[in-house]
Amino acid sequence: MIHPSAVIEPGAVIGNNVRIGPFSYIGAGVTLGDDCIVESHVVIKGPSTIGRGNHFFQFASIGEACQDKKYKNEPTELHIGDFNIFREGCTVHRGTIQDKGLTLIGSHNLFMNYTHVAHDCVIGNNVIFANGASTAGHCHVGDWVIIGGMSGVHQFCQIGSHSFIGGGSIVVKDVPPFVMAHGSHAVPNGINSEGLKRRGFSAEAILEIRRAYKVLYRQGLTVNEALTELADKTEQWPEIKLFTSFIQNSTRGIVR
């Protein structure tokens, strides 16, 4: 299952039923879980811990040292969960000691051609990065987020769960959960109602999210006034609790 031209450095740990194609490189300090597929001309460096069932397409560069000029070759890490797809030319970098020294990617994500996950990012589960989408350092992306093609996310930004970033956007502020944002710089454009329906959210929950969005963005209130207006909803609706908690914890401010 390992092509003769592939290079596996001493110290790499390769799981069961792993397929590694021609001219790929697996560095020391890499742990590659069971059932992974590494196509030809892939580079995976460590320290990196990769779960099972991941598929790396040609010319992906995974676990490389980051592009932060402060980085001095410290032994930082990359952790990847299970059943992710990294398409052609995808790049994922390890962390820096200026943060937690760790880039973290969950499970069941799709990273399309030439996407980039920078150092110290935290990516959730069931996320899609469309072609050319990139996150700068220290970004956090929640579960079920879709980032449209050729979009860029500024360093330290947070993208809330179930949100949708339109193609070609530049995100410089935090995007709350459930919100669709688009443009340069990205601005809110309603809630991701279609995505929520596909994921089984009830009609009542979607209606409450829509109402919360209107309180925040349509009534001319300040953020604090909107949070006060929504406080009574948080006990009954966990979706509204997620929405308001994200806003309360935002350090960059939210898209407006």
Q: pLDDT of 211-230, one tens digit each? A: 999 999 999 999 999 999 99
User: Going by C-beta distance under 8 Å and a sequence separation of 6 or more, which residues neighbour residue 245?
Assistant: none
220 CB-contact burial (10 Å; exposed 0-12 / middle 13-18 / buried 19+): exposed
**Which pLDDT belongs to residue 213?**
98
Instruction: State the average pLDDT for the chain.
Output: 98
Paired tokens of 206 = 């979607």
Round to whole Å and give the CA distance between 230 and 243: 10
Q: Which amino acid is at 199?
A: R
**Which pLDDT belongs to residue 139?**
98
**Which pLDDT belongs to residue 11?**
96
**Which pLDDT belongs to residue 74?**
95
**Which pLDDT belongs to residue 189?**
97
Contact yes or no for 67/93 (Cβ under 8 A):
yes
**Which pLDDT belongs to residue 45?**
98
**Which pLDDT belongs to residue 209?**
98
Paired tokens of 54 = 């991941």
Contact yes or no for 23/40 (Cβ under 8 A):
yes
Q: Give 7's strand partners.
A: 25
Round to whole Å and give the CA distance between 46 and 212: 44
Task: Give the predicted TM-score (pTM) of the model.
Answer: 0.97
**Which pLDDT belongs to residue 252?**
95
**Which pLDDT belongs to residue 25?**
98
Report residue 251: phi and psi, to 5°.
-100, -25
Round to whole Å and give the CA distance between 31 and 12: 6
| C-alpha pair distances (Å), 146 with each of 93, 102, 155, 160 | 20, 23, 18, 10
Please list the ranges in the chain whose pLDDT falls under 70. none
**Which pLDDT belongs to residue 224?**
97
Round to whole Å and give the CA distance between 158 and 141: 6
**Which pLDDT belongs to residue 156?**
98
Residues serving a catalytic function are 119-120, 137
Across the beta sheet with 158-159, what order do the strands follow? 13-14, 30-32, 48-50, 77-80, 102-105, 122-123, 140-141, 158-159
